[in-house]
């Protein structure tokens, strides 16, 4: 059994981030995920602070845990109070958890300026509380709040607070960088000095106010700490806490700590996204290991090397943390970017074949005009098909009109879109209203196509973004519209660019509908060239099969 312990405080410290409020049901769902991941301690909240946390602890009694220990968090007794009658301490008992975490002041400045008591009384508060809880056969973790600031300013007193906790029976002591202002080498020096004084297991609780939470957590583990605290996705007050997704991955890949199983690591990316969804937070694309961009490659030279061997530009295997490699398409792309992407789309190309160069030239020209295909895989695939003349359009726009009307005395807008399409030899002319121009266009387009392509009903628009490309032209600036759509089996993005926001929206919308229908129908297409069908898989640049 590993001596290293991982302690999650997403449900308390993480929930202190602005905009996050977990329901009791959310917290229970997260607890199940963390238990399956192999987390040792899951801090459920502060039972003395609100009714929601008390309800959460009461509902945990019916949940079997495979690995984790649920922990209740609270403070030492109040100054001048008796521990057995202190409401916060009694709430820890009532939470009925096998482990409790007690936070106490270790910085003399905080004792005098925040608690407003004496240094001697603070030591008694720590000792009394831990002794009282240990007498009830609880495992007690002592969080030495502001320890690093306290040690730098008054090392003797900071050590006295730990001594009071240890003498009273604390099972482990966690050194907290509560203000997030300590530098990694100071963390290392202080932990090594504390270890000379105490044999109790030491832990680290790092905040990210200087961007050092991850560095401080890792250097603490390298310096002898065996207990590390953090939150999923680094959620927390102010700038957040150490991100446990990266802490766990670094323990496994970099520190070679034999604690988590390979199958548990594969759940990291999924757990990160589920917690983000429950927290109503947008996932962080640049998040190490689990972010969407963690293994994304854009530069052509990078892609060419990654195709030959992933370790050239990747420090870990994305699949091992449940993530995946992504090749981005932009004006920085080389032929290898195009070839990797078409390989994903099962289109057959070879590195030096003229068709690959043709796709790249069109791509770079469009990106120069303001297009961006990094989040528009649907439009990128359509670009390939159109450039190589390997598909026939499902419909053609004959005319389009959008009317926006608002009466001077009225409060509502009247918005109508009219479209005229050619589908084969047939002309379809229809109109529809909407609560905005994009909604009206979407309704009119669907109305025109629904009879011919009933599968359009399964295509849903799930996101719509507008980006001004150059603000110097004011309201006349060119804009880029990105639309995200999905059906029952996949999700895709499409893009449109124009000085006219309606035109840009129409282009992205048409791409979205057309791509969804083409993927569903898999229509017959022309071969690129007879020669291309003779190509075999002789090098990494060749893509397997030509379907579109």
* CB 221 within 8 Å of CB 4: yes
Examine domains 5-260 and 396-521 and report if their fold is the same. no
CA distance 540 to 407: 62
The CATH number corresponding to 5-260 among 3.40.50.620, 3.20.20.70, 3.40.120.10, 3.30.420.40 equals: 3.20.20.70
Residue 173 pLDDT: 98
Three-state SS letters, 368-423:
HCCCCCCCCHHHHHHHHHHHCCCCCCCCEEEEEEEEEEECCCCCCEEEEEEEEEEE
Nearest one of 439, 513, 518, 440 to 430, comparing CA atoms? 440
Q: What would the CATH number be for the domain defined by 396-521? A: 3.30.160.270
* CB 395 within 8 Å of CB 446: no
Q: What are phi and psi of 444, to 5 degrees?
A: -70, -40
Residue 424 pLDDT: 84
Nearest one of 145, 134, 133, 208 to 174, comparing CA atoms? 145
User: Each residue of 385-424: pLDDT tens digit?
Assistant: 777 766 778 888 898 888 888 765 566 778 899 999 998 8
- Helix then strand count (H, E) for the chain reads 18, 16
Q: Is the pLDDT of residue 530 over 50?
A: no
Residue 521 pLDDT: 63
Q: Is the pLDDT of residue 121 over 90?
A: yes
pTM of the model: 0.67
Instruction: Lay out the sheet containing 396-406: strands in order across.
Output: 396-406, 413-423, 426-433
Mean pLDDT comparison of 198-207, 403-412, 472-481, highest-scoring range:
198-207
Residue 329 pLDDT: 53
Cβ atoms within 10 Å of 152's Cβ, excluding its own: 14
The conformation of residue 406, written as its DSSP 8-state character, comes to E
User: Each residue of 218-269: pLDDT tens digit?
Assistant: 999 999 999 999 999 999 999 999 999 999 999 999 999 999 999 999 999 9
Residue 541 pLDDT: 29
User: Each residue of 426-460: pLDDT tens digit?
Assistant: 899 999 998 888 899 999 999 999 988 999 999 99
The conformation of residue 467, written as its DSSP 8-state character, comes to E
Confidence of residue 335 (pLDDT cuts 50, 70, 90): very low
Residue 4 pLDDT: 97
| Every domain of the chain and the residues it spans | 5-260, 296-378, 396-521
Query: What three-state secondary structure class fits 220?
Result: helix
Residue 539 pLDDT: 28
Q: What are phi and psi of 484, to 5 degrees?
A: -110, 130
């Amino acid at each position: 059994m590993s001596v290293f312990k991982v302690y999650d405080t997403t449900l308390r410290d993480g929930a202190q981030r602005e905009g996050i409020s977990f329901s009791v049901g959310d917290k229970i769902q997260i607890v199940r995920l963390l238990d399956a991941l192999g987390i040792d301690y899951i801090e459920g909240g502060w039972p003395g602070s609100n009714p929601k946390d008390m309800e959460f602890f009461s509902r945990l009694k019916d949940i079997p845990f495979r690995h984790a220990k649920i922990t209740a968090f609270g403070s030492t007794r109040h100054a001048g109070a008796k521990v057995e009658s202190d409401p916060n301490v009694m709430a820890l008992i009532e939470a009925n958890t096998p482990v409790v975490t007690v936070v106490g002041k270790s910085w003399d400045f905080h004792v005098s300026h925040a608690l407003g008591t004496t240094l001697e009384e603070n030591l008694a508060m720590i000792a009394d509380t831990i002794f009282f809880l240990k007498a009830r056969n609880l495992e007690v973790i002592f969080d030495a709040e502001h320890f690093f600031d306290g040690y730098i300013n008054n090392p003797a007193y900071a050590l006295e607070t730990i001594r009071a906790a240890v003498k009273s029976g604390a099972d482990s002591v966690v050194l907290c960088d509560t203000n997030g202002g300590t530098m990694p080498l100071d963390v290392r020096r202080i932990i090594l000095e504390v270890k000379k004084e105490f044999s109790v297991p030491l832990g680290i609780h790092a905040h990210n106010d200087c961007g050092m939470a991850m560095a401080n957590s890792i250097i603490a583990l390298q310096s002898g700490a065996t207990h590390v605290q953090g939150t999923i996705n680094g959620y927390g007050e102010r700038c957040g806490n150490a991100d446990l997704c990266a802490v766990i991955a670094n323990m496994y890949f970099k520190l070679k700590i034999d604690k988590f199983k390979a199958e548990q690591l594969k759940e990291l990316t999924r757990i990160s996204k589920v917690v983000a969804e429950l927290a109503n937070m947008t996932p962080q694309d640049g998040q190490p290991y689990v972010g969407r961009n963690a293994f994304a490659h854009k530069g052509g030279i990078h892609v060419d090397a990654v195709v030959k061997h992933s370790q050239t530009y990747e420090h870990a295997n994305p699949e091992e943390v449940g993530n995946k490699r992504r090749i981005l398409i932009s004006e920085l792309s080389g032929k290898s970017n195009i070839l990797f992407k078409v390989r994903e789309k099962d289109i057959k190309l070879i590195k030096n074949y003229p068709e690959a160069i043709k796709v790249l030239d069109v791509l770079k020209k469009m990106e120069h005009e303001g297009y961006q295909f990094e989040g528009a895989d649907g439009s990128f695939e359509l670009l390939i098909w159109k450039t190589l003349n390997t598909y026939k359009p499902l419909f053609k726009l004959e005319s389009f009109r959008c009317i926006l009307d608002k009466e001077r005395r009225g409060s509502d807008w009247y918005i109508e879109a009219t479209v005229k399409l050619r589908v084969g030899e047939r002309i379809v002319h229809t109109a529809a209203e909407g609560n905005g121009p994009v909604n009206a266009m979407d309704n009119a387009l669907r109305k025109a196509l629904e009879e011919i392509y009933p599968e359009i009903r399964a295509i849903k628009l799930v996101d719509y973004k507008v980006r001004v490309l150059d603000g110097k032209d004011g309201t006349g600036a060119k804009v880029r519209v990105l639309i995200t759509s999905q059906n029952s089996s996949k999700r895709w993005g499409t893009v449109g660019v124009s000085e006219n926001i309606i035109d840009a929206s129409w282009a992205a919308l048409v791409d979205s509908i057309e791509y969804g229908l083409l993927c569903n129908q898999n229509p017959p297409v022309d071969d690129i060239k007879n020669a291309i069908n003779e190509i075999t898989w002789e090098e990494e640049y060749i893509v397997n099969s030509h379907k579109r």
